[in-house]
Amino acid sequence: MLLVELAAILLAAKAAGHLASRWGQPPVVGQLVAGLILGAVVTLLPASEALQESNSQVDLLSNLGVLFLMFLAGLETDWQQMRETGRAATVAACLGVALPLGAGYLVGTAFRLPGVEALFLGVVLTATSVSITAQTLLELGSLQTTEGATILGAAVIDDVIGLVVFSLAVAATGASSGLPLPVVLVGVIAFFGLAPTAGGRAAHWLLVQAHHMQGSEGPLAVAIAIGFLFAALAAQVGIAAITGAYLAGLLINREDLYGELTEKIKVLGYGLFIPIFLVKTGMAVRFDAMASLAGMVAIVSVIAILTKILGCGLGSLACGLSLRQSLVVGVGMVSRGEVALITAGLGLQAHVLSETLFSATVIIVLVTTLVTPVLLRLVLVRVPAAAAELVANGA
C-alpha cells in the first residue's frame, strides 16, 4: 500500500506542478491542489489498517521533506544580496512581519480562538514566498530595478525574521519540547549563540574532510547529515527543527562554495521528499470542517494581503522609495508559500492548531499566491518605462 500511495503522490505532484507552471503559477500551487483532490479521494476509501499504516509512513517522509525544503532555503540564500539591499529591505521586512503577526493575532482573538491558536495564525501570516513575484517581475522587465532588488532582499530578511518569530512562539508555548519556559529560553540563547560560530566551523571542517573520502557522494551525505544534526539540536532545545535545518544551510553555503552540492540536494529533495510534503499538506485539508470558519477565511485572506502591502510598502516609503515603488514592493511581498505551509503543518502536529484552522490557513496561502501576479500586473502598468530610466541612471 505504501508504494502505491507514494507513486500516486509523486505522479500527481509532478503533473499538477507542470499544469500550474503552464498557467503561470508556481508548482507549489499545483501540488497543493493535487493534495486537496487526493485527500478528497482518500476520504471515500474504506478505512483499513493497511491504509492507516501507509499514511503514517508517508507522514514520516513528509517530515523529511520539510527539513529538505528549509535546508535548501538556507543553501540558496544570497548572503551578498542580503548585505547589499540595505535599509529599505530591512525595514520593509520588519514591518512586513510585525503587521501580519499583530493583525493575525487580533483577528484570531476576535473570532474567539484560543490564545495559542491566535498567535500561530499571526505567525503563519508573517511568511513570504517571492518565487512567483520574481517570475512576474522578470516577465514585465522590472526585476533589475530598485523595487525588484528591494523585494528580493526583503524576502530573505523576512524568512530569517519569520523563522526566529516562529521559533520563539514554539518555545514560548512549549509545543516542541514540553520543557519549562526558562529552560527553553536558555537553550534558545545557547543554540543561536553557538550554532553560527562553533557549529559553522564544525560543518566546514566536516565538509572539507568529506571531499577526501573514498566512495561516491561523500560530501552530499555529510551535508545532509549536518542538516539533520542541526535540526535535531534545535528540536532538543525547544526550537523548531526547521530552524536548525535552515541555519545549517545558511552556514554551509555562506561563502557560496557549494553550488554543485546544492544542486544535488535539490535533485533529491524536489525529486522525492518535497513533493510528498506539499501533497500531504493539501491532503490534510478538511473542507467539511471549514464551514464554521468561512467568514474568517475571507477576512483573514484580505488582511493577509493588506498587511503585507502596508507593512512592506510603508517600510520602503520611509526609506526613500517613491510611492509607486513602495506599492510594488508591498504587493510583491503578498504571496505566502512553503514557509507558511510548514508553520501551519508543524502547528497542527504540535496540537496548537486545530484541523479546522489548519485547513483555513492552507486556503489563505493559496489565495495570496494566486492573487499576487494579478495585483503586480496592475501596479506595474507604467513601471517598465520608469525601470528603463532607473537603469539608465545607474539606480
Predicted confidence (pLDDT) per residue in 286-318, tens digit? 777 667 778 888 999 999 999 999 999 999 999
Task: Write the burial class of residue 342 (CB in 10 Å: 0-12 exposed, 13-18 middle, 19+ buried).
Answer: buried
Q: Check residue 388 and give its pLDDT.
A: 41
Q: What is the mean pLDDT of residues 174-189?
A: 64
Report which listed range, 62-71, 176-185, 334-343, 345-354, is most confident.
Answer: 62-71
- What does the DSSP 8-state code read for residue 47? P
Q: What is the mean pLDDT of residues 182-195?
A: 75
| H or E element, residue 66 | helix 49-75
Task: Record the cell numbers describing residue 28, joined without a space.
Answer: 507549489
Q: How many residues does the chain have?
A: 395
Q: Check residue 55 and give its pLDDT.
A: 83
Q: Check residue 179 and give its pLDDT.
A: 56
Q: Check residue 178 and give its pLDDT.
A: 54
Task: Write the burial class of residue 214 (CB in 10 Å: 0-12 exposed, 13-18 middle, 19+ buried).
Answer: exposed
Q: Check residue 131 and give its pLDDT.
A: 66
Q: Check residue 175 and give its pLDDT.
A: 55
Q: 259-272: string of b/e by CB count within 10 Å (b at 16+)?
A: eebbeebeeebbee
Report which listed range, 37-51, 96-110, 335-349, is most confident.
Answer: 96-110
Q: Check residue 303 and give its pLDDT.
A: 95
Q: For residue 239, which of 360, 132, 350, 325 has the smallest C-alpha distance?
A: 350
Angle subtended at Cα 386 by Cα 375 and Cα 91, rounded to the nearest 5 degrees:
65
Number of C-beta neighbours around residue 228 at 10 A: 18
Please determine, for residue 391, whether its predicted confidence score (pLDDT) is greater than 50. no
Tell me the pLDDT of the chain averaged across its residues: 82
Model pLDDT for residues 196-214, shown as the tens digit of each residue: 888 888 998 999 899 888 8
Q: How many whole angstroms separate alpha carbon 87 and alpha carbon 315? A: 9
Please determine, for residue 176, whether its predicted confidence score (pLDDT) is greater than 70. no
- Residue type present at position 74: G
Model pLDDT for residues 126-159, shown as the tens digit of each residue: 988 776 677 677 667 776 677 887 887 787 778 7
Q: How many whole angstroms separate alpha carbon 1 and alpha carbon 55? A: 9
Q: Cell 464551514 appears where? A: 291
Q: Check residue 181 and give its pLDDT.
A: 61
Main-chain dihedrals φ then ψ at residue 74, nearest 5 degrees:
-70, -45
In this prediction, residue 241 has a pLDDT band, given cuts at 50, 70 and 90, of: confident
Q: How many whole angstroms separate alpha carbon 226 and alpha carbon 249? A: 9
Please determine, for residue 385, whether its predicted confidence score (pLDDT) is greater than 60. no
Contact 282, 38 (CB under 8 A): yes
Q: Check residue 7 and give its pLDDT.
A: 94
Model pLDDT for residues 1-28, shown as the tens digit of each residue: 789 889 999 999 999 989 988 887 778 8
Q: How many whole angstroms separate alpha carbon 274 and alpha carbon 280? A: 10
